[in-house]
Chains A and B, each alone.
Chain A
Amino acid sequence: MKSVADIFTIVAVCAGSFFFLAGTVGLLRFPDSLTRLHALTKADNLGLGLVVLGLLPQANGFLGGLKLVAVWLLVQLAGATVAQVIAEALRRRGPPP
């Protein structure tokens, strides 16, 4: 017996997994580092965002939900920073031969 909240969880987590899959395919298939970074950040933002959104109804009370959202925000912050730092290093190195 599934409640509305459970169905919401399944749909949102599946959607999030799809973005992780797409991000991984992009990471493996895209031609150069900058486009690979682009693929990776999608998995971080949307993929994890949807997974967290889906898990919110299952969270252990308000505080548990707050922790989940905090995890998502921290990963966003770290992911965005790492992408910028890597891109900066790539630019400093110059275009590939």
Chain B
Amino acid sequence: MTIIEALDIGLAFLVLGVAGWTIAAHEAFTAVIGYVVYGLLLALVWVRLFALDVALTEAAIGSGVTGVLLISAAVRLRASEAEMMHERLGIAPRLVAAALCLVAAAALAAVVLDMPDPGATLAPQARQPLAELGLGNAITAVLIAYRAFDTMLEKVVLVLAVIGVWSLSTDANWGGLAGPTRLERTEGPLAFLAQLLPPLGIIVALHIVWVGANEPGGAFQGGALLSAMALIVLMARLREAPAIGRRWLRVALISGPVVFLAIGLLGFALAGGFLAYPLGFAKPVIVFIEVFMTLSVAATLPMLVIGPPDRRPS
């Protein structure tokens, strides 16, 4: 066994250990921290599998933004948590749950162990038309060209999620403000970080979106970074999130799916099919879509994290 193999096995056990610890944790807050650590370790696993695009997404969305979302949820639930701890499931539902988990785990294990070696792969077919599309990253080609329809629907789901969160608002606060309030005077380390980091973060995010065509990166990862910058500014209370009634916010939220859909429909006229890109002109079109998807993701994720509006716009 080489030293790299030993490290990989150690990493796998570490992931399993942290997953078990997260499930066993009593307090919600502890479990969330476990989940964030689990996500970061999982990102390392993806790096070891040479899936850098997935690793970036896992670290940014799975661990980062979801982590913030879950932490704020855990803090909100803290008041009622002690009460919930007393609630215990009866023995019968527990046994049923355990049996279901065992069956699911056994089925998954059987499928994994039964896979042919070497596994079936579409990688050569995915790489072959890359030059025609003008792309260097096969992942981006899969996401925006081969299965563009799925990616477009994913963006629609994000918008639906925001509508779902907003619909928890009371009638009185509809169109109002959500998230932390702005302070007149801010000081301290967090305010310092929130002033220093965003310019850097924005540059890195744009870089990640731009290189996504040829190297690991893309709209989702870049958009997640942008939304992280927005969240730091909100948490440091330097600025307030825009009221959810603001027109520009809503336009930004839907811009990704709308542009995607419009270009998809244009495909009928220019390239003979829904979401077909004109030959020799695919890359500019793909980058154009990615820019608006980035904007959409960057607007969506902070709105999901800060939750429904809880006060009138002042």
Q: Chain A residues in contact with chain B, CB under 8 A?
A: 74, 77-78, 80-81, 84-85, 88
Contact string against A for B residues 192-216, beta-carbon threshold 8 Å, 1 for contact and 0 otherwise: 1100110010000000000000000
Q: Chain B residues in contact with chain A, CB under 8 A?
A: 188-190, 192-193, 196-197, 200
Q: Give chain A residues whose Cβ lies under 8 Å from the Cβ of B200.
A: 74
In the assembled complex, the CB of A87 is this many whole angstroms from the nearest CB of chain B, namely 9
User: Chain B's interface: helix, strand, loop or mixed, by majority?
Assistant: helix
Closest to B191 in A: A81
In the assembled complex, the CB of B192 is this many whole angstroms from the nearest CB of chain A, namely 7
Q: Give chain B residues whose Cβ lies under 8 Å from the Cβ of A85.
A: 188-190
- A81-B189, A85-B188, A88-B188 are known; give 15 further A-B pairs, CB within 8 A: A74-B200, A77-B193, A77-B196, A77-B197, A78-B193, A80-B189, A81-B190, A81-B192, A81-B193, A84-B188, A84-B189, A84-B190, A85-B189, A85-B190, A88-B189
CA distance A69 to B61 in the complex (A): 25
In the assembled complex, the CB of B56 is this many whole angstroms from the nearest CB of chain A, namely 14
Closest to B196 in A: A77
Q: Give chain B residues whose Cβ lies under 8 Å from the Cβ of A80.
A: 189
Q: Give chain B residues whose Cβ lies under 8 Å from the Cβ of A88.
A: 188-189
In the assembled complex, the CB of A63 is this many whole angstroms from the nearest CB of chain B, namely 12
Q: Give chain B residues whose Cβ lies under 8 Å from the Cβ of A74.
A: 200
Q: Give chain A residues whose Cβ lies under 8 Å from the Cβ of B193.
A: 77-78, 81
What are 8 A-B residue pairs whose CB atoms fall within 8 Å in the complex? A74-B200, A77-B193, A78-B193, A81-B192, A81-B193, A84-B188, A85-B188, A88-B189
CA distance A87 to B197 in the complex (A): 21
Residue from the set A74, A78, A81 with the largest chain B CB neighbour count within 10 Å: A81
In the assembled complex, the CB of A84 is this many whole angstroms from the nearest CB of chain B, namely 4
Which 4 pairs of residues, A with B, have the shortest CB-CB distance?
A84-B189, A81-B193, A81-B189, A85-B190
CA distance A77 to B188 in the complex (A): 13
In the assembled complex, the CB of A69 is this many whole angstroms from the nearest CB of chain B, namely 13
CA distance A74 to B188 in the complex (A): 18
